[in-house]
Chain A
Amino acid sequence: MRGLALCATLQGMAASAQDLAGHGGPVGALAIRDGQVLSGGFDTRSILWDLDTGAARQIQHFHEGNVTAVAFLPGGMLATGGQDGRIALWQGAVERPTFATPDTNAPIVALSLAPDDATLAAGFGDGRIARMSLDDHSVQDHQAHQGQLTGLAYLPDGHLASVGDDLRLSIWDRASQLAARAGLAARPNGLAVTEGRLAVVFADGALRLYAADGSQLPQRFLTDRPLVAVAAGTGAVAAAAIDGTVWVLEDQDLSERFTVSAGADPVWALALDRDTLLGAGNDGTIRRWSARDGERQGQSATQASGDHDDGSRGARVWRACAVCHSLSPGDNSRAGPTLHGVLGRRIASAPGYAYSQALRSMDIVWTRETVSALFEHGPEVYTPGSRMPDQRISDPRDRAALIDFLERASR
């Protein structure tokens, strides 16, 4: 019910805003197919959007932590991967996935569907690649990189390409045997396949193309800032940097089709098809442009987050809290519950938020003293078992300023 209620709210919001706005925090994963968009965010949700109307069709809330990878599967199925290392498969508007792999200690970095539509590959932060049969859900994995895997994509011939921060590009055959390997000049941050070639973005600001045998093709230095996202569409490849700049290049010679700015924040995810370019990042809004000429499509959505910066010391401390908490009534769209009316409230009692069992069993009322104690000792000590990252504010003046701010802004 919680997911459906939020969906209705988002649909109402999206009707007047062409940007896809609904995630309560950074968005790090995007996919586009046949007029639908799938996104994953730090708010632990994945959302299926209708591109024409901008409406959120389906809100999925399953992963513990950031949703880091998404993919469209055959037959209307969806796949999501998370910081919890789980792959979840979704069929239809359901509240729970139809299948999910167990927790692992390494986050999922990328998902890729094989050209025969029979296998889903997942790349992990510990350098592993797992291949899951979409028929019987059996999983086989192998160690592909030393350290973090940073990009993964199937080639049209069924080979699987991966890059990692061991500075290697590896091509794997269907039996997960190494078919080709190449050393890389810098740290790769993402991989996409375009017309059978590999487009890799690097932290040194370059986009380099590679053939299916690992040999290097044209490269182009786009910026002196790290490139962190890449996507391929029909005849084009898109890359984005941490300063919000997005380039769309012709995939044959890397000549520039256009450049757009998505603001000053990093763009963590891109999606590209023949008509549409999508970009999303730290502010949680999914922006759209024409893939042909970069013309902005739609208009800026009003951020539901609200701006509570009154210039005070407490407001500065609050910035870190605002990544996961809203101050608006009933707004539980972020990773944590709304803190509207938090002072005087019993722990784990905000309506509409799924608290952990550990918090529900505690007997704390949030007052100036208890909020101060929470940040003096940290959640791991004061509220053990909480999903909240262990935040401590060692300076008592900062704690007092934060509570003063909450007294003003949370009413």
Chain B
Amino acid sequence: MARMKFLCDADRCIECNACVTACKNEHEVPWGINRRRVITINDGLPGERSVSMACMHCTDAPCAAVCPVDCFYTTEDAVVLHNKDTCIGCGYCSYACPFGAPQYPQTANFGTRGKMDKCTYCSGGPEADLSAAEYEKYGANRLAEGKLPLCAEMCSTKALLAGDGDIIADIYRERVVTRGYGSGAWGWRTAYGETVSV
């Protein structure tokens, strides 16, 4: 199986937020939750860069390491998913996540944070693939349809790449060699424990 990864080329992101919008639409993500967001670093200053940030589906995922109820699991494609039936909304995964991926509804009842929600790499959850129950809890399962995450598919500058980690790393290396510079695949080392060497 492929080892699925995201790669954010901060030298290409133009902060258009199409990835954010595509994600919300595809999965009918409720108000107050953004599974993906665009962060601009050094806004208005020399060295300004934007990065599209969501769950990176880490190797040795910190969220899974700290979850007190063990609700995370990793698929054969190396996508990190969680079971909302088990999640107690404690919020500890949000402290551990390097990318601020875990989201909580802002209107949970009775003082709790509600079920955690995050990027699924467009691959649903533990329910049967492409079932109504899966869509209701986790959104669309594009991987089961043979497609890649919509955020990356929608990216007009191809700053955000999704797919087999080896292939997207090769694409990034080729870009850096061609254009002669590269500030690095943002978050790659933190998520996967390696850098994309050129």
Q: Which of A5-13, A248-256, A301-309, A386-394 contacts the other chain? A: A386-394
Cα-based distance from A164 to B41 in the complex (angstroms)? 12
Tell me the complex Cα distance, A166–B75, Å: 29
Q: Does residue B89 face the partner (Cβ distance < 8 Å to A)?
A: yes
B43: A residues at CB distance < 8 A: 183
* Nearest CB on B from A227, distance (A): 10
- Cβ contact within 8 Å between A225 and B115: no
Residues B45 and A183 in contact, CB atoms below 8 Å apart: yes
Bound Cα distance from A107 to B114, whole angstroms: 12
Docked pose: A203 CA to B89 CA in angstroms: 21
Name the one of B87, B99, B106 contacting A105, with C-beta atoms under 8 angstroms: B106
- Number of inter-chain CB pairs below 8 Å: 116
A158→B151 CA distance, assembly (Å): 43
> In the complex, what's the smallest C-beta–C-beta distance from A291 to chain B, in angstroms?
24
Chain A CB within 8 A of B91 CB: yes
Check A126 for interface membership: any CB of B closer than 8 A. Answer: yes
The chain B residues found within 8 Å of chain A, CB to CB, are: 37, 39, 41-43, 45, 62, 65-66, 68-71, 85-92, 94-100, 104, 106-108, 110-113, 115, 127, 189-190, 193
Across the interface, do B92 and A320 meet the contact criterion of CB distance under 8 Å?
no
A387:B95 contact, CB within 8 angstroms? no
On whether the beta carbons of A266 and B96 are closer than 8 Å, the reply is: yes
Chain A 364-394 near chain B by CB (<8 Å), digits 1 or 0: 0000000000000010000001110111111
Nearest residue in B to A105 (C-beta to C-beta)? B106
- Interface residues as binary, A74-106 with B (CB distance below 8 Å gives 1, 0 otherwise): 000000001110000000000000000001011
The answer on a CB contact under 8 Å between A186 and B190 is: yes
Task: Report Cα–Cα, A386/B110, bound state, in Å.
Answer: 8
Partner of A187, one of B86, B100, B112, B189: B100
For B189, what are the chain A residues with a Cβ–Cβ distance below 8 Å?
A: 204
Asked whether B112 lies within 8 Å of A387 as measured between CB atoms, the reply is: yes
How far apart are B75's CB and chain A's nearest CB, in angstroms? Answer: 18
Contact B106 A84 (CB under 8 A): no
A42 neighbours in B (Cβ, 8 Å): 90
Interface membership of A54, Cβ < 8 A: no
Contact A64 B86 (CB under 8 A): no
Residue A323 interfacial (CB < 8 Å): yes
Once the chains bind, are B113 and A147 in contact (CB under 8 Å)?
Answer: no
- For A107, the chain B residues whose CB sits under 8 A away are 91, 113
CB-CB under 8 A for A320 and B37, given A64-B111, A204-B190, A266-B66: no
Known: A226-B98, A268-B92. A167 touches B68 (CB 8 A): no
Closest 3 CB pairs of A and B: A64-B111, A203-B98, A320-B69
Q: Is the CB of B91 within 8 A of A166?
A: no
User: Are B45 and A323 touching (Cβ within 8 A)?
Assistant: no
Select the residue from B87, B90, B189 with max chain A CB neighbours within 10 A.
Answer: B90
Nearest opposing residue in chain A for B115, CB measure: A390
Does the CB pair A83–B95 fall under 8 Å? no
- Interface residues in A173-190 by Cβ distance below 8 A to B read 183-184, 186-187, 189
* Cβ A103 vs Cβ B96 within 8 A: no
B118: min CB distance to chain A, Å: 13
A243 surroundings in chain B (CB, below 8 A):
65
**With known contacts A224-B193, A282-B66, A392–B96 Cβ distance under 8 A:** no
Partner among A82, A268, A320, A393 whose Cβ is within 8 Å of the Cβ of B95:
A268
Give complex CA distance A63, B113 in Å: 13
> Do residues A166 and B39 form an inter-chain contact, with CB atoms below 8 A?
yes
**A166, closest chain B residue (CB):** B39
* Chain A minimum-CB-distance residue to B32: A105
- Cα(A204)–Cα(B56), bound, Å: 13
- Report the separation of the CA atoms of residues A320 and B90 in the bound assembly, to the nearest whole angstrom: 12
A332 at the interface (CB under 8 A from B): no
Residue A142, interface by CB 8 Å: no
- How far is it, in angstroms, between the C-alpha of A142 and the C-alpha of B39 when the chains are bound? 20
Query: Inside 8 A of B37's CB, which chain A residues have their CB?
Result: 147
Contact A26 B92 (CB under 8 A): yes
Complex contact A242–B106 (CB within 8 A): no
Q: Determine if A391 and B88 form an interchain contact, defined as CB atoms under 8 angstroms apart.
A: yes
Q: How far is the CB of A81 from chain B (nearest CB, A)?
A: 13
15 A-B pairs with CB atoms under 8 Å apart are A64-B111, A65-B112, A82-B111, A105-B108, A203-B96, A203-B190, A204-B98, A226-B97, A242-B62, A242-B96, A282-B68, A323-B69, A378-B85, A385-B110, A386-B110
Q: Which residues of A contact B99 (CB under 8 A)?
A: 187, 203
Find out whether the CB atom of A64 lies under 8 angstroms from the CB atom of B106. no
Does A356 count as interface, using CB distance less than 8 angstroms?
yes
- Of B85, B91, B193, the residue contacting A66 (CB under 8 A) is B91
Q: Find the B residue at minimum CB distance from A266.
A: B66
Q: A345: CB under 8 A from chain B? A: no
User: Are B110 and A392 closer than 8 Å at their CB atoms?
Assistant: no
Additional A-B contact list (12), CB under 8 Å, known A107-B113, A323-B90 = A26-B92, A106-B106, A148-B94, A183-B42, A184-B41, A187-B98, A203-B190, A228-B95, A228-B96, A320-B86, A323-B68, A389-B115
Question: What B residues does A184 contact at CB under 8 A?
Answer: 41
- Which single residue of chain A is at the shortest CB-CB distance from B60? A225
Q: In whole angstroms, what is the CA distance A349 to B13 when docked? A: 58
A120 within 8 A of B: no
A228–B93 alpha-carbon span in the complex (Å): 11
Interchain CA distance A28-B94 in the complex, whole Å: 13
Residues of B within 8 A of A83 (CB): 91, 111-113
Determine whether A274 belongs to the interface, using a CB cutoff of 8 Å to chain B: no
Q: Which residues of A from 101 to 141 have beta carbons under 8 Å from B?
A: 103, 105-107, 125-126
